[in-house]
Amino acid sequence: MFRFTLTCFILSTCLHLKAQQIDTISFVLTSFNNIYIPALLNQKDSLKMMFHTGESGVSIIEEVFNKIAIKKNATSTEANSWGGKGTAKFFKNNTFSIGNHRFDSLVVWVDKHSGQLTDGKFGPLLFKGKMIEINYHDKNFVIYESVPPKQHLKQFQKFRLTQEKGLLFIEGKLNIGRQRLQQKFMIHTGYGGTILLDDAFAQKHQLGRLLKITNESTLKDAYGNTLTTKKAVLPSFKIGRTKFKALPISFFEGSIGRQKISVLGNGLLKHYNMILDIENSLVYLKPNHLFEQ
């Protein structure tokens, strides 16, 4: 009886794993906190593509577009980015391959910028209907065709995702003096910093006066819009049960309304392993080896 039960268990497990068709894809986490993986465009061009949760599809930078093996006619249009408006180009009917996944008849956009050391960006919506694990500990993606085993999910804390215009948001709590402030943050793997707060939030809570300013820097978005940020130290920040102390953050000061959303970047996200279940508006987080560093 025991042997029969064990055999059935092993057979059931093997069938489950086979049915899952799990695809594991290695990635590189750069010193700039960008994630990139090897990809193939139109079966000709090998590219280093950044995983960007704010990207709806696939885009490459102008320098790469000018060098691709299969020349394409591009169409121009006006588009919006997180820094402002700009003119974007796109070209149709492309194939794009990552790991064991190939996407056909794809529109590819042409941007001025991508993350350092990368040729372009791709987003999680390519894997519609699948769950994506970003394992910063082992530096790989795990693409699940269906829900991962319960034993695996139990290691993670589950959060509700808010989805707006293709962007993914989660709530976090900031502690500033006696204030306990709750805020909605975009999950932004294309941003290498920890937290970037929106203009209205920074002004309302007078962050320039309450926080210690440590530095200023300039960012450029995909269309070349220049954004000046201030860096400060946040006493503490919480997502669910996990807490960061003395966290370096950024915010804009000056013109109000340009930066309309607050974001969590890879400088913070890399301290977790993360599973995205976009279909059901859920995200799972588990602190990894980087959390205490």
- What is the tens place of the pLDDT at every residue in 244-262? 999 999 988 655 557 889 9
Question: Which pLDDT score is estimated for 177?
Answer: 82
CATH 3.40.50.460 matches 156-287: no
Question: Which pLDDT score is estimated for 89?
Answer: 87
Are the CB atoms for 148 and 131 separated by under 8 Å? yes
Q: Which of 171, 176, 172, 173 is nearest to 246 (CA)?
A: 176
22-151 has which CATH code? 2.40.70.10
Question: Which pLDDT score is estimated for 12?
Answer: 42
For residue 203, CA distances in Å to 50, 191, 251, 253 come to 32, 22, 10, 8
pLDDT digit string (tens) for 161-183?
999 988 999 999 999 888 899 99
Distance CA 284, CA 21 (A): 20
Distance CA 42, CA 105 (A): 10
Distance CA 239, CA 183 (A): 11
* Token pair listed for 274: 């993360």
**Span(s) in the chain for CATH 2.40.70.10:** 22-151, 156-287
Low-confidence ranges of the chain (pLDDT < 50): 1-18
Distance CA 241, CA 243 (A): 7
pLDDT digit string (tens) for 127-170?
999 999 999 999 999 999 989 999 999 999 999 999 998 899 99
Question: Which pLDDT score is estimated for 233?
Answer: 95
**Positive or negative torsion for Cα 104, 109, 111, 114:** negative
Question: Which pLDDT score is estimated for 15?
Answer: 42
